[in-house]
A and B are shown apart, each in its own frame.
Chain A
């Protein structure tokens, strides 16, 4: 596994694995992060994987950069470059109620790209997405790639309030807002699942390097699974 490092803080270092966004790289970084968290447990305070990099924060009281980097090099040397064959069980399925009532930009996107709403839903839910990175907010997963035909730029003015669970598109990325927050993505539906719950053993449903599929559901199933409507929704 090839990488270089740069010092990004008194107690942090960023490993660079490549220069371009590609899914093999994201998976490799995910495996590197998991291996380091496991092998260097107790030495690393935090690990932040992203598209091409992995930030490590270490404990200055008990470690120094050169011995840490030696251990990092040992751990990463043992990792194969090629990903192991992924299986369907690695893919997380997320039910989504694609509907203008909870996805107010669905019809705008359909008009913009010259498709029916049904075709937009069909195209968006046909893909298997990869979690490229987690950030912006707790459990917020940047998923790619949205089919080029559906690529839509961010809203010029972000909405002040996007309800938790809402699914959106920005350019060729798609994501679910885990918590209610302001947001500029184009909203197309909502999941009844909780993407982030601090009281769960695994607070974040998604992690970088995982795969995701969206399963379209109707209003009845959405409500049965605990889905809710928000004051701002146009039912």
Chain B
């Protein structure tokens, strides 16, 4: 058996997690779905190096990662605007980059955006767990490099495939690279439970800015802003959908994200669309957010276009 080669991390960063498209068919067991928080940057990183949509890439929060390559291959780094170097020479983001055995790749702290995605040609060679995914869950102790939920740590090796055909020199046009500094307005599908909120409360929610609190992680984004009053606070717990905006008794909304609990009992105003969540994933605590209502057909059209583009299907 040949020795596994890959990238050996001398600096693992603040929080680096292997993420793919997330798990399927496991939520009824209480397992959450997970997956890349900013699918747009993650999907581009994979596409640049010729990988299929669901391939595992490294989600690096707040940069500051360094690794040495043990093989000749191609990588792409997308997402947060962070300085990237190979052997000290500056490199472009959103670009397929050749690396050689012995090269050292460094990613600095981001100036805008908070999550970077590192993909390698052929995808990282990690065994999948429940739901056909290697998505890394710290809380559940599942997924990731060793399948035990630990985030990447110093000295870890991410195994990479060898002997792949060369890759085309690809780059995402600059006009397609998102600007994570822009003030963000999140699209919301309003839900049936909206009846629990008086009209003036909905007016408050859709006309005022909210601030992303420091208590924002992969489970949920807590917001700070004008309090939202709810009629009847307790609800029988029900399955939670991605992006659901739940309003606890303190009136400060929480957007449920990829690593959310599978069931919950707070009333929900609606759900932020997946494409808006992709953009939200790049906003640091303290960012100002606004909300706008969107009809289902528009949200579905936008999501289908995204999936068709990256999954390579023509419908």
Tell me the A residues contacting B by CB distance below 8 Å: 6-12, 14, 21, 33, 37, 45-55, 57, 60-61, 64-65, 133-140, 178-179, 196, 198, 203-204, 207-208
Contact B25 A139 (CB under 8 A): no
Chain B proximity of A48: nearest CB distance (Å) = 3
Contact A134 B237 (CB under 8 A): no
B26 within 8 Å of A (CB atoms) = yes
By a CB distance below 8 angstroms, the chain B residues around A48 are 27-28, 238-240, 262-263
B299 within 8 Å of A (CB atoms) = yes
B92 within 8 Å of A (CB atoms) = no
Tell me the B residues contacting A by CB distance below 8 Å: 24-31, 33, 129-130, 139-142, 189, 191-192, 236-244, 261-264, 268, 271, 273-274, 296, 299-300, 303-304, 307-308, 311, 313, 315
By a CB distance below 8 angstroms, the chain A residues around B236 are 21, 50-53
Chain A proximity of B53: nearest CB distance (Å) = 10
Contact B262 A135 (CB under 8 A): yes
Contact B304 A61 (CB under 8 A): yes
Contact B28 A49 (CB under 8 A): yes
Contact A60 B31 (CB under 8 A): no
Contact B29 A204 (CB under 8 A): yes
Task: Please measure, in the bound complex, the distance between the C-alpha atom of A37 and the C-alpha atom of B24, giving whole angstroms.
Answer: 12
By a CB distance below 8 angstroms, the chain A residues around B139 are 137
Contact A11 B239 (CB under 8 A): no
27 CB-based A-B contacts, threshold 8 Å? A9-B271, A10-B243, A10-B296, A10-B299, A11-B274, A11-B303, A14-B239, A21-B236, A48-B239, A48-B240, A54-B239, A60-B300, A61-B307, A61-B313, A61-B315, A134-B29, A134-B262, A136-B263, A137-B139, A137-B140, A138-B30, A138-B142, A139-B30, A196-B30, A198-B129, A203-B26, A208-B28
Given known contacts A9-B243, A137-B140, A179-B140, A47 and B28 CB-to-CB distance under 8 angstroms: yes
Chain A proximity of B94: nearest CB distance (Å) = 25
Q: Name the CB-closest residue of A to B22.
A: A45
Q: Which listed residue (A55, A139, A178, A203) contacts B239, Cβ 8 A? A: A55
Q: Which listed residue (B141, B263, B300) contacts A135, Cβ 8 A? A: B263
By a CB distance below 8 angstroms, the chain B residues around A51 are 236-238
Contact B29 A50 (CB under 8 A): no
Task: Please measure, in the bound complex, the distance between the C-alpha atom of A204 and the C-alpha atom of B27, giving whole angstroms.
Answer: 11
Contact A46 B26 (CB under 8 A): yes
Given known contacts A6-B192, A133-B263, A138 and B238 CB-to-CB distance under 8 angstroms: no
Given known contacts A134-B29, A135-B262, A198 and B307 CB-to-CB distance under 8 angstroms: no
* A/B pair count, beta carbons within 8 Å: 137
Task: Please measure, in the bound complex, the distance between the C-alpha atom of A47 and the C-alpha atom of B238, giving whole angstroms.
Answer: 11
By a CB distance below 8 angstroms, the chain B residues around A37 are 25
What 17 additional pairs, Cβ within 8 angstroms, besides A8-B244, A53-B236? A7-B296, A9-B242, A9-B243, A10-B271, A12-B242, A45-B25, A48-B262, A49-B28, A52-B236, A54-B239, A55-B239, A60-B304, A61-B304, A134-B30, A137-B261, A138-B29, A179-B141
- Interface pairs A-B: 9 shortest CB-CB: A55-B239, A48-B239, A135-B263, A9-B241, A6-B192, A204-B29, A53-B238, A12-B241, A46-B27
Task: Please measure, in the bound complex, the distance between the C-alpha atom of A53 and the C-alpha atom of B240, giving whole angstroms.
Answer: 11
Chain A proximity of B260: nearest CB distance (Å) = 10
Chain B proximity of A164: nearest CB distance (Å) = 10
By a CB distance below 8 angstroms, the chain A residues around B240 are 48, 55
Q: Which listed residue (A10, A47, A204) contacts B303, Cβ 8 A? A: A10
Contact B244 A52 (CB under 8 A): no
By a CB distance below 8 angstroms, the chain A residues around B261 are 135-137
By a CB distance below 8 angstroms, the chain B residues around A53 are 236, 238-239
Contact B189 A14 (CB under 8 A): no
Chain A proximity of B197: nearest CB distance (Å) = 15
Chain A proximity of B266: nearest CB distance (Å) = 13
Q: Which listed residue (A8, A12, A54, A198) contacts B142, Cβ 8 A? A: A198
By a CB distance below 8 angstroms, the chain A residues around B271 are 8-10, 12
Chain A proximity of B277: nearest CB distance (Å) = 10
Q: Name the CB-closest residue of A to B32.
A: A138
Q: Name the CB-closest residue of A to B299.
A: A10
Task: Please measure, in the bound complex, the distance between the C-alpha atom of A45 and the C-alpha atom of B33, giving whole angstroms.
Answer: 10
Q: Which listed residue (B237, B273, B300, B315) contacts A133, Cβ 8 A? A: B237
By a CB distance below 8 angstroms, the chain A residues around B296 are 7, 10, 65
Contact A61 B308 (CB under 8 A): yes
By a CB distance below 8 angstroms, the chain A residues around B30 are 134-140, 178, 196, 204
Task: Please measure, in the bound complex, the distance between the C-alpha atom of A8 and the C-alpha atom of B271, giving whole angstroms.
Answer: 7
Contact A134 B28 (CB under 8 A): yes
Chain B proximity of A90: nearest CB distance (Å) = 18
Contact B28 A10 (CB under 8 A): no
Q: Name the CB-closest residue of B to A5.
A: B192
Chain B proximity of A64: nearest CB distance (Å) = 8
- Residue among A33, A37, A60 with most chain B CB within 10 A: A60
